[in-house]
Amino acid sequence: MIDTKESLSQLVSDAIIGEKYPIAKIISKIETEKNLEFRESLFHELSIQNPDAKEGLTIGITGTPGAGKSSLLGELCKLFLEFAPNKKMAIVAIDPSSNVSGGSILGDRTRVTLPRRDPRLYFRSQPSQLELGGLNPYTFHVIRFLRRIFDYVFVETVGIGQNEISVSLISDLSFLVMQPLGGDQVQFMKSGIMEVPEAFIINKCDEESLANSSYYMLESTLEFIKDILPDQSLPPIFKTSVTKRKGIEELLRYILQYQKRKDKNTETLTQLTQWVRNEYGRWGISIWEELESSKWNQAVKRNPLGGIQKLKYEEEERKIVSLIQTKIK
């Protein structure tokens, strides 16, 4: 039982040194409904035991089903172990399968061949609990937790439309994975997805000429929407092939050297807004906006230097809940 303070602290200290079973248990608890109390104590405990922990980089990987995201991740893992001998990575794979019973078959693990018993890798599946892909309601907190232990946290989702690419909102670096000549880019352009990811991957580039023509097509599509891209420069495009083992090394090097991190306050606020909207709808948002701290946080967001102090997610959530409860009364 980890509801008692002592055993939570034991679990956290075991998790910090990278023991897999304690990490797994904590995630299950995060994935449990009404876990606010637990989260508060968990993140509190983490900050006490490991106050100087660096935050791991979050990498979002999304794309249509069949684009080969999982196999690509499998190859990335193998290379990662070789190229980053002192780093650790975690993967959270969100599987869209679900049915009437509520049960699911989490198949992503099948497609990622992982080395056995390697403490530097951790893989966790999550059912999306929605008909389509996208994020699981607990994904954000699971990532927040994993970032405190792992240097890199990969989040894989199935992206089909605007709703499913919210993974990029909570990642430092997000990739959209496509198949060569899939015609995806036109569809994605229509639904406004092309502006969102930081980089693109054309996977399954098993054949040179097909890969190149797809590359140029994507490049020209991106040039077309260049005006609305924030920094006016074209995002990088990677050509990868798992069967030919091509392009994956370049992709990994890019990820390992990636410096730019998103402001975690903004990210937290995004997630909190999304949560309030899910739980209480627009009414909830309007109430929240009345909240003093929210205005303060809006100000922080507008501050180009970032926040003076990190937004405390659980504290905010609690405030909203209590505010709304008083409103209801």
Partner 1 sequence: MSAEKKEYLLVDENGQGKPDKPWIFRTYAGHTNAKASNELYRKNLSKGQTGLSIAFDLPTQCGYSSDHEVSRPEIGKVGVPINSLEDFRILFDQIPIEEMNTSMTINGTSMWLLSLYVALAEERGVPLEKLNGTTQNDLIKEYLARGTYIYPPKESMKIIVDMYEYSLHKIPKWNPSNICSYHLQEAGATPVQELSFALATAIAVLDAIKERNCFTAEEFEQCVGRISFFVNAGIRFVEEMCKMRAFTEMWQEITTERYAVKNAKYRVFRYGVQVNSLGLTEEQPENNAWRILIESLGVTLSRNARCRALQLPAWNEALSLPRPWDQQWSLRLQQVLAYETDLLEYPDIFEGSKVIESKVKALKEEAKLEIQKIIDMGGALVAIENGYMKSQLVKSQTERLSKINSNELVIVGKNKWTDGIKSPLMTDSDGGIFKVDPKSAEQTLNVLGEAKSRRDVAVAKKSLEDLKKAAKEGKNLMPFSIACAKALVTTGEWADALREVYGEYNPPTGVDGQKLFLSDDKVSTVRGKVEAFTKANGHRPKIVVGKPGLDGHSNGAEMIAVSAKHSGFDVIYSGIRLSPEEIVQSAVEENANVIGLSILSGSHKEIVKQLFDELAHYKAKIPVVIGGIIPESDFDELKKMGIREIFTPKDYDLMSIMEKIIDIVSVEPALV
Nearer to partner 1, 27 or 169 (CB): 27
Total residues at interface with partner 1 (CB under 8 A): 38
Establish if 298 lies at the interface with partner 1 (CB under 8 A).
no
Q: Hey, what's the torsion of the CAs at 216, 221, 226, 230, to 10 degrees?
A: -100
Q: Which amino acid is at 133?
A: G
Pick one of 99, 309, 325, 326: the residue that binds partner 1 (CB under 8 A).
99
Instruction: Return the residue of 51, 103, 230, 304 that touches partner 1, per CB under 8 A.
Output: 103
For CA atoms 276, 307, 54, 49, the dihedral sign is negative
Sign of CA dihedral 152, 215, 72, 79: negative
How far is the C-alpha of 274 from the C-alpha of 170, rounded, in Å? 11
32 binds partner 1 (CB under 8 A): yes
Which parts of 223-275 are beta strand (E)?
Answer: 237-239
Burial of residue 176 (number of CB atoms within 10 Å: 0-12, 13-18, 19+): buried
Q: Is residue 107 a contact residue for partner 1 (CB under 8 A)?
A: yes
* 101 makes contact with partner 1 (CB under 8 A): yes
204 lies in the site for partner 1, by CB under 8 A: no
**Which position among 79, 81, 114, 225 is part of the footprint of partner 1 (CB under 8 A)?**
114
Nearest to 141 by CA among 42, 48, 59, 60: 42
Given candidates 44, 109, 277, 318, which one binds partner 1 under the rule CB under 8 A?
A: 109
152 contributes a contact to partner 1 by CB under 8 A: no
Q: Which is nearer to partner 1, 109 or 319 (CB)?
A: 109
Other C-beta atoms closer than 10 Å to the C-beta of 274 total: 16
Determine if 78 is a binding residue for partner 1 (CB under 8 A). Answer: no
119 binds partner 1 (CB under 8 A): no
- Residue pair 256/56 in contact by the 8 Å Cβ criterion: no
Q: Does 1 sit near partner 1 (CB under 8 A)?
A: yes
Q: Is 244 in the site for partner 1 (CB under 8 A)?
A: no
Does residue 159 contact residue 62 with C-beta atoms inside 8 Å? yes
Place of tokens 């449990």: 32
Is 220 an interacting residue with respect to partner 1 (CB under 8 A)? no
Q: Which is nearer to partner 1, 196 or 248 (CB)?
A: 248
3-class DSSP assignment, residue 3: coil
Under rule CB under 8 A, residue 41 binds partner 1: no
* Closer CB to partner 1, 35 or 270, in the complex: 35
Contact pick of 26, 61, 176, 196 for partner 1 (by CB under 8 A): 26
- Residue 17 interacts with partner 1 (CB under 8 A): yes or no: no
Cβ-based nearer residue to partner 1, 26 or 61:
26
What is the SS3 assignment for 115? coil
| Distance between CA atoms of residues 72 and 70, nearest Å | 5
Under the criterion CB under 8 A, does residue 162 sit at the interface with partner 1?
Answer: no
Give, in degrees to the nearest 5, the angle at Cα 13 between 11 and 18.
95
Q: Report the DSSP beta bridge partners of residue 312.
A: none
Taking Cα atoms as reference points, which of 12, 13, 17, 37 lies closest to residue 27?
Answer: 12
> Which residue in 36, 37, 47, 113 binds partner 1 (CB under 8 A)?
113
- Residues found near partner 1 in the complex (CB under 8 A): 1-2, 19-21, 23-29, 31-35, 97, 99, 101-107, 109-111, 113-114, 116-117, 122-125, 127
